[in-house]
Amino acid sequence: MTKGVVLTLVVGLVASAVACAMNTPPRSYPVVGTGQDRCYGADGSMITCPPEDQPFSGQDAQSPGTPASYRDNADGTVTDLVTGLQWAKAPSERMTFAELPAFARASRIGGHDDWRVPSVKELYSLIDFRGGYSGDPQTSRPYIDTEAFSFRYASGTGLGDAVHGQRPIDVQLWTATRYVGRTMGGDETVFGVNFADGRIKGYPMMDPANRMLTPNRLAVLLVRGPAYGQNSFEPTPQTVRDHATGLEWQRSDSGQALSWGDGLAYCNGLALDGHGDWRLPNAKELQTIVDYGRIPAIAAPFRLVQGDVYLWSSTTHLEGPPPPTDEDRPFSRTGELAVYFAIGPALGRMEQPPGSGLWRWMDVHGAGSQRSDPKTAVPGQFSNGFGPQGDDIRGHNHVLCVRRLAS
């Protein structure tokens, strides 16, 4: 019996045990919880998680899902006991996207010869939304379990944009998932996950810091093990059941853009297909129905009122320094932002060409990106975008509600 077969059997037994403990059947696409265990108000303050009929009820911490569980194998690898995937413990050195396949084939980490570059869904399964970036690595917490995985911020101290100086958060990791569109007006793009700032974005294959004259270089975290991220959809007139994840979805979105608080309330009050236990999905649940092979980046059974929507999650995106007097300092950062996925192009307002004085909206990060909006923002408040890439801050986004299928 090979090591791979033994690993699959062991992980399968563990997954079955976890499922039994939670009174749910084992799934072929298990969704790992985000780790978020606190509730937050619109102003970013930590609050007592509200009861079902109160404002801001139904957020991430109130439906935690399956907690992450890792085993350090003491050979440079880490096994995810929920997904069955085995990971390199530490990221590689930086390399070009073209160099990734050969690097994976040549890797012998832990004595294994079947390493691969992860898909964006595989890599995102590791994200931990207890993280928070303050601008200073000394007071920040990565969006990944640092007891299981090795992580370090970039050594650069630049505070400008990524083109003009490396910042501590410039530790983006390649995935194998290429964007089917183009960003920045024409750049070939690959999706990556950043465990320093807790986002998915498309990164150009050519280096923007060198005027796109040389290939971009990012690190990679290799993976091996069973296929992960494959849905098993059963559409009904009003819902879509995914037997791989054990989730049932509202088939059509809210039809209008809502504030984050109203999005939570909309799902809490939804009565659909004979069920009343609908809720706003957390970030990892929502990513399971993102389809990175198409634009709009939503799985085919779903019906959106328009193709360029952004979809809210119930997950708060923590940033900023921890309160100095809070005994739960590592967990209590400013919670003013909420996570969303750009189903249409992830827009930003950029000066093109640079220095021309001509500004226009363009797809800067790719359909399928995960970013975040201020919970209290209103449409039109950020008419020129925000940040070095002019991120489109809509303030009000659409929602698709979810519930867990019965055992």
Per-residue pLDDT of the chain (407 residues; tens, 9 = 90+): 444 444 444 444 444 444 443 344 568 999 999 999 999 999 999 999 999 989 999 999 999 999 999 999 999 999 999 999 999 999 999 999 999 999 999 999 999 999 999 999 999 999 999 999 988 899 899 999 999 999 999 986 544 444 445 799 999 999 999 999 999 989 999 999 999 999 999 999 999 888 778 999 999 999 999 999 999 999 999 999 999 999 999 999 999 999 999 999 999 999 999 999 999 999 999 999 999 999 999 999 999 999 999 999 999 999 876 555 544 444 446 899 999 999 999 999 999 888 899 999 999 999 999 999 999 999 999 999 998 899 999 999 999 999 999 87
**What are the tokens at 127?**
């994200």
Provide the 10 A C-beta neighbour count for residue 139.
16
Q: How many CA atoms lie within 13 A of 370 on its CB side?
A: 31
Integer CA distances (angstroms), 29 to 231, 262, 277, in order: 7, 30, 22
User: What's CA 273's distance to the chain center, in Å?
Assistant: 29
Distance CA 274, CA 403 (A): 12
H helices present in 77-229, as ranges? 100-106, 120-124
CB 82 within 8 A of CB 30: yes
CA nearest neighbour of 342 among 170, 191, 185, 228: 191
| Full-model pTM | 0.90
Backbone φ and ψ of 137, nearest 5°: -55, -30
Distance CA 148, CA 202 (A): 26
Residues β-bridged to residue 391 = 348, 386
Residue 343, helix vs strand vs coil: coil
- Ramachandran region of residue 273, left (φ > 0), alpha (ψ -120 to 50) or beta? left
Element (H, E) at 359: strand 359-363
Provide the 10 A C-beta neighbour count for residue 22.
12
